[in-house]
Structure 1
Amino acid sequence: MISKEHIIKRFVSYVTVDTESDPNSDTTPSTAKQWDLANALVEELKVIGMEDVTIDENAYIMATLPSNVDHDVPVIGFVSHFDTSPDFTGANVKPQIHENYDGKDIVLNAEKDIILSPDYFEDLLLYKGQTLITTDGTTLLGADDKAGITEIVSAMEYLIQNPEIKHGKIRVGFTPDEEIGRGAHKFDVEKFGAEWAYTMDGSQVGELEYENFNAAGAVVTIHGKIVHPGYAKGKMINSIYIATEYINSLPRLETPEHTEGYEGFFHLHTVTGDVDETKLEYIIRDHDKEHFEARKEVMQKLATEINSQYGREVVSIEIKDQYFNMKEKVEPVMHIVDLAEEAMIQLDIKPLIKAIRGGTDGSQLSYMGLPCPNIFAGGHNFHGRYEYVPVESIIKATEVICKIAELTASKHK
């Protein structure tokens, strides 16, 4: 059995190290403080008995658990990221342990009246009687994705300590900067040397995902003309008004707050500007590749239409693809999803196979030649003060890793 106390100690040691990434940085890792945890992980991997432990100049960590069988088994991998989101502070994380959760409100911070309530976060009720780890309401927790790292390290340690569990060669990888979309950018797939891998970066127990959004970012620049407002008739072009026209011309209900499941969206997340120039920053998301391309075309055509109204280029748009739906790369090797599903079933975990409404390192890795579905890590309410993770979920995910390793060896005799 995997010790709950051991899991808690390991997880807490990770989340109390600030590893927030920075989208405005052009270094890798994007923040120097990510090295603090990265270097500690390297030493820990060596201590538990992993081999070929390496860290490169960009803080990408890899390590090997050698095979303990005498027949050929495909090399598999497990991947997680050690940075935390810049959406909310990850400095001075103070984890709170709540044993035998009673299904009622959890007071995270009495002084600031910050409460984690099942009235709002209904998923809490799934974990009555379990041990929850929460924040103190002033930071995020970092279960995304330090729960994943905890699971991978703990699974490797367990397999090393229990050699009667037969497995092939296993590679593990830990990356920086996933939260700013750069976690796989400098991942050396050839060096990793696995036939396939799994990211441990999902949420609820049982989640198993091999579909994600196609994603692009768009910057729409509105070019106005500033003149003295007292003498502006027929001369001034107010970029803010044109920006409003552009915003209102996109489908109002195709936004994050009105969509779910396989429904895509346009998401306006930043507006900056004045009369002379306004910038609109969007993300574009859709699971379906044709719909995704159509969304980009809609934004381009809208810019063209507005320009034709003014007889000059008042709207320019730059669209950059960010990542694509891994389904295209995973479907030809669906046995790797079936294997994870079987592992969960054998552990009495109900698989929840669904599409990710977001991205993952696994998406980019799949297009880099490493098919990489995503498995639950157990946390909820990522990127904010209400983040929490049940310890039992971390243990179950750890057991899934061990079971996948065991099944891979047994199926390739």
Structure 2
Amino acid sequence: MDKLIERFLRYVSFETQSNSSVDHCPSTEGQRVLAEQIKKELVELGLSSVELDENGYLTARLPSNIDYEVPTIGFIAHMDTAPDASGKDVKPQIVENYQGGDIALGVGDEVLSPIQYPDLNKLHGHNLITTDGTTLLGADNKAGIAEIITAIAYLKDHPEIKHGEICIGFTPDEEIGRGADLFNVEKFGAKWAYTIDGGPVGELEYENFNASSADIICHGVNVHPGTAKDKMINAMNIAAQFQLMMPTEETPECTEGYEGFYHLVAMEGGVAKTVLNYILRDFDGDSLERRKVFMQEKVDELNSKLVKGRVELKITDSYRNMREMVEPHPHIIELAKEAMIECDVQPIIKPIRGGTDGARLSFMNLPCPNIFTGGYNFHGIHEFITVEGMQQAVKVIVKVAENTAKKYQ
């Protein structure tokens, strides 16, 4: 397990933040640099079919060590980190035997507090890896990469643990919704897979949001403010009117569980043109469609009130709820649950209030539930992970591989 932490700390030193404003894949060169490093490690481990393609997708295989047929399974993680916070010059710190209270991050005033993050109250006695308060950590999803590789290395070093063929895959650009775009499912070769991309210990997820994005484009007219009377139409004022028409109780900060939301994630513009960028989320497909209709109704309503200027709506669908593709294969979920229980981990089956590569891959005929990494507070400077959680993730991966072989014996 010492190698596990070494790997993780090495991977987070690479800057791999993805960038949605560029079209090529991977969207940033840092992801390719990390992929090249991991490729070397996989070759050194003696894995077979180690390949890094032109789009930054890295795959490899651990051959079966049994003489009977077992379905090939896979484990997948992504190499990029979220654009929400800097991933450059990450300086992790290890807090040994945490005993409660605030944790000072770095040399400034930033702290990780159990008042803000009550999960810390459950982690007394654990060893935590935190940020220094200036960047995210990158546990999402470099912890998943380290855990998968450590589990595969353990299986290779312990041939007494019987397993079938195992495929592993590391993808670029998951955080900007493109991680599965160029994933070659047929070449990957697994019958089913698991993304190792969840949060706290025990999380097992096979439901996720249906997701769309919506752009509200407000058109105005700009003239010199000194002669603007009856001529200027301020697009920013139109945008403000639209935002006030949205339901305030259906936002991320006011919802939980299976509740969906509208989320204004960005705005940009000026007097002549202003754009509001929203994401729409709902676990029920029909409910997501109703959200789209609602937004169009509000656009029409605002346009009918405007004497001048206008508003338009552009909607793009992103991903769908994987549940319909995973539920027909209940043994995939059962194998993960049983593995957790055998590793003294209580399964926590819950919906993902977001998405993973697994959601897209499930609709590409690779059913792909999501398993925990042991991390918390992803996408921000208060991200952290527990050493114990990472170790338990490794054990669960090994046990899933072992139990799959036993199931088909």
Shorter-chain TM range is: over 0.9
String of CA shifts for 1:88-116, please: whole Å, max 9, x gaps: 1111112211221112322122x311211
Q: Secondary structure at the match of 2:84?
A: coil
Greater displacement, 227-236 / 371-380: 227-236
Q: Hey, what does 2:389 align to over in structure 1?
A: 393
How far, CA to CA, are the matches of 1:123 and 1:263 in structure 2?
22
Contiguous gaps of at least 5 residues in structure 1: none
Equivalent residues in 2 for 1:267-306 (5 A)? 267-306=263-302
Is contact 1:49-1:157 (8 Å) kept? no
Q: Give the aligned partner of residue 311 of structure 2.
A: 315
Q: Structure 2 counterpart of 1:98, which letter? A: V
Deviations 1:54-78 (A, max 9, x none): 1100110111111111111111000
Match of 1:254 in 2: 250
Q: Distance in 2 between matches of 1:160 and 1:228?
A: 71
1:243 aligned counterpart, secondary structure: helix
Give the SS at the match of 1:69.
coil
Q: Give the SS at the match of 2:376.
A: coil
CA distance in 1, matches of 2:78, 2:120: 25
Q: Distance in 2 between matches of 1:381 and 1:211?
A: 20
Which of residues 29, 33, 37 is equivalent to 1:32? 29
User: Which residue of 2 is the match for residue 105 of structure 1?
Assistant: 102
Is 1:82 the counterpart of 2:74? The answer is: no
Pairing of 1:163-312 with structure 2 (within 5 A): 163-229=159-225, 232-310=228-306
Report SS of the residue matched to 2:125: coil
Please, what TM-score do these two structures have when normalized by structure 1? Answer: 0.96
Q: Is the 8 A contact 2:221 2:309 kept in 1?
A: no
Aligned pairs, how many? 409
Cα distance in 2 for partners of 1:257, 1:121 equals 15
Taking the aligned partners of 2:89 and 2:235, their CA distance within structure 1 comes to 42
In 2, the alpha carbon distance for the partners of 1:100 and 1:70 equals: 45
SS state at 1:245 partner? helix
Within 2, Cα distance between the matches of 1:335 and 1:229?
A: 67
2:343 aligned partner: 347
1:310-389 alignment, distance < 5 Å: 310=306, 314-389=310-385
Deviation digits for residues 362-398 of structure 1, max 9, x if unmatched?
0111111111000001111112221111111111000
| 2:21 is aligned with 1:21 | no
Secondary structure of the 2:204 match is strand
- The Cα shift of 1:13 comes to 1.1
1:19–1:84 CA contact under 8 A, matched in 2: yes
- Inter-partner Cα distance in structure 2 for 1:230 and 1:178: 48
Cα distance in 2 for partners of 1:95, 1:275 equals 43
Q: Report the more deviating stretch, 191-200 or 304-313.
A: 304-313
Distance (Å, rounded) in 2 between the aligned partners of 1:228 and 1:55: 55
1:18–1:236 Cα change, 3 Å? closer
| Deviates further, 151-160 or 65-74 | 65-74
Match of 1:130, SS? coil
The code of the aligned residue for 1:188 comes to N
Alpha-carbon distance, 1:310 to partner:
3.5
Q: Secondary structure at the match of 2:327?
A: helix
Counterpart CA distance in 2 for 1:327 and 1:311 is 46
- The 5 Å alignment of 1:22-61 reads 22-61=19-58
TM superposition shift of 1:273: 2.4
Structure 2 residues not aligned, in runs of 5+: none
Structure 2 distance, partners of 1:97, 1:250, is 43
- 2:140 is aligned with 1:147: no
Task: Give the Cα–Cα distance (whole angstroms) in 1 for the partners of residues 318 and 399 of structure 2.
Answer: 33
One-letter amino acid matched to 1:100: N
* Local SS of the residue matching 2:54: coil
Do structure 1's residue 68 and structure 2's residue 68 form an aligned pair? Answer: no
Partners of 1:226 and 1:113 in 2: how far apart? 44
**1:226 offset after TM fit, Å?**
3.0
